[in-house]
Amino acid sequence: MPARSFLLPVLWLALAALSGCSRRPQLAEAEAAVAPTALLPRPQIVQYTGAGFTLSARTRLFLTAPCTDTTAAETSQQLAAWLQRRQIGGRLRFSADTTSTGVHLIIAPGTVPDSLREQYQLRVTPRGIWLRASTATGLFRAAQTLRQLLPAALENPGPAAGPLPVPGVRIHDWPAFEWRGLLLDVSRHFVPPAQLRRYLDLLALHKLNRLHLHLTDDQGWRLESRTWPRLTSVGAWRRGTNGQPYGGFYRQTELRELVAYARQRHIELVPEVDMPGHVRAALAAYPELSCRGRPLAVATDWGVHEDVLCVGNPRTAAFAADVLGEVMDLFPGRLVHVGGDETPVARWQACPKCQALMRRERLQSERELQGYFLRQVAAVLARRGRRGIVWDEALALRPPLGTVVQAWHGLGPVAAAAQAGYPVVASPGSFTYFDQNTTLLELAKVYQFNPRPAGLAGAARSRVLGGEAAVWTERLLPAQLDQAIFPRLLALAEVLWRGPAPARAYPEFLNRTRQYYPRLTALGVQYGFETRPLAVTTEPAATGLRATLTAGGPGIGLRYTMDGTTPTPASAPYTAPLMVETPARLRVLALRDGQVLAELPAVQLQPHAALGAALTLAAPFHPTYSAGGAGALTDGRLGSLDYRDGAWQGFERTDLDLTLDLGSRQLLDTVRVAFLQDWNSWIFLPRTVQTSFSSDGQTYTSGPEATTPEPVSAVGPLRRSYHAAGPGRAVRYVRIQARSVGVCPPGHPGAGGAAFLMVDEVVVGARR
């Protein structure tokens, strides 16, 4: 981004000015108090001027551009065809006339830096509509803004629209970040080409310019290879839950068509072929590429698998070169993502070939062996003028300068990579991992995302290219992608196009988003929730608890059952707080406009004697896993097998020490507390749990210490309850101490890293 800039008065820039423009104006705003339409992302400078232009079937379209600019002509034809299908525009003409009434698409060529290639101007007056840019990409962005100025109903072509007024407006617009992307994991679940084309259309409408396809992983290889054909004949299919083959792959002809489709929408497809880890599907096809050489099946479970490419095998280098060569033939972009993450080294430690290679190359550790392999991969790419992208774990392996680092572990690795001289794409999981439901990642939090960490300055700051959302599909089917992506992608699109916004700007954005929902509906997007899909708040009642349900967005109706049966649109509508006197399994169906949106995760409600009781913690819970805050462990809501359900309270690298104040002395029958183990999510059961009782809060009597029978290596997810009998006397205080494993154990992919302890409701049974 250029450092110099100049002030721009909020007036329409003369059309001739842009051709020589090489500097970006400072942000200035002059928007009418009430905008006639919702634009997402909102332009940098927008001024509504009242009277506009009326489109009709007789409206003429003019293109002014160099004759050699075929891309500009293609972009203009797309807009003309879109208007013609809605019968509000005539055929496109090539003309230097910029004064006649109509729609004018103007390319004013000039030498502009890459940071200004997407800049455009748009003006609507009673005499016509002018879209002006220096490049076809800028002109395409202008066309998407014009499209959003038109009624949402036009997104779904129907009968003739008739004369259509377009609001008067003056817009000057440009992106804040070069890289504005979405990752789709098509390996865990194959996403058909038609659905990918649909997402390309949606990305283009919202001015995003990268679609990152995670094409290979342990659970499936989706890229046709003609040099290693078993990658798809074997590696593209795993055993489904019904025992039948499950999967699919993209033929090379389909990928070339997809690349061309993306190019027409000014989007770059970024392929990812993960190596040397996450290759179980490839090893199922070619077991000789593994260290043990044993037959393997394509993985049917998630997580990190120990079988990786055998770097000491000479065929592995040939495999990587062949596959990457085919990738580069199919995808013309400058960058190829090679993963480089989550690579266990246990197989290399026991492999004679890998150990021999380490001795020959004088490598001191298996991590250095991984770095050696990634440098080989980088050399393969460099021979074709390409560069690699790696996940931030690979930063410690010192990849060649010029390699792009995609940082997902937070903003710390973004800063570290940028300061080390690497270009960075920011994808911190806490802001951009859309496979997390809105219980953990609300729309408001996405809007708070800033790809550039605080304190980053100078050249390091400029190395942050932008950001990218990620949709991993371990727990999402293709039919569920819309709800995971929208409306959160609207927030990310605005942050990356317009730049990070202060928190006070969110209400205006939310209002604009809700005005925009009819456009998503017209486009057939089944958008999801803004906040937690189902918020359940409870309070003690005379004979149990009272539960209040709140849907995670406007216009959503709830139908429910409380006996565990499947809810339907004919089930009882939720209209008031529910009285729960005995344990109940609440199941809820969300509907929008009478259509089923989703069945929400079931909620187990448990009345007990400590509902609403005060609770103190010796160490604080992790802010991401608060389960709703201080009262979460006495609210009567039990956790499921999914740590992301909003009921589990998490403690990172620390023991649990809680004290419960019942408010008065009571005779207790039992105390029960549950914990979770999910090996693949770095969550482990406590090693021991101790329950103690006190009448005065000073002197405690301990019951028997409970130990965990399951090994720390149990994969899970599993939920274990720990019970303690009452002390046989009236007590007021209950103390529970649970000893965490602290760090991930040896043999775990995160060995030595922070482990989580996840705790559920403290359920107290008292005698009446």
Q: Among all residues, which ones are annotated catalytic?
A: 342
The CA distance from 206 to 201, in Å, is 9
Structure tokens at 224: 């046709």
Between helices 70-85 and 136-149, what is the axis angle to 10°?
10
Beta bridge partners of 706: 689
Residue 19 C-beta-side C-alpha neighbours within 13 Å: 10
Place of tokens 């809105």: 438
Return the closest-CA partner of residue 541 out of 591, 588, 503, 579. Answer: 579
- Burial of 490 per CB tally in 10 Å (0-12, 13-18, 19+): buried
To which H or E segment does residue 691 belong?
A: strand 688-694
Place of tokens 């690979």: 394
CB 394 within 8 A of CB 369: no
The CA distance from 566 to 46, in Å, is 49
Q: How far is CA 452 from the centre of its chain?
A: 18
Between helices 136-149 and 193-205, what is the axis angle to 10°?
80
Q: What are residue 247's phi and psi, to 5 degrees?
A: 155, -140
- Listing DSSP states for 483-548 in one string gives HHHTTHHHHHHHHHHH----GGGHHHHHHHHHHHHHHHHHTT-----SS-SEEEEEEEETTEEEEE
Q: Where are the alpha helices (DSSP H) in 394-505?
A: 411-419, 429-432, 443-447, 458-462, 481-485, 488-498
The CA distance from 715 to 678, in Å, is 6
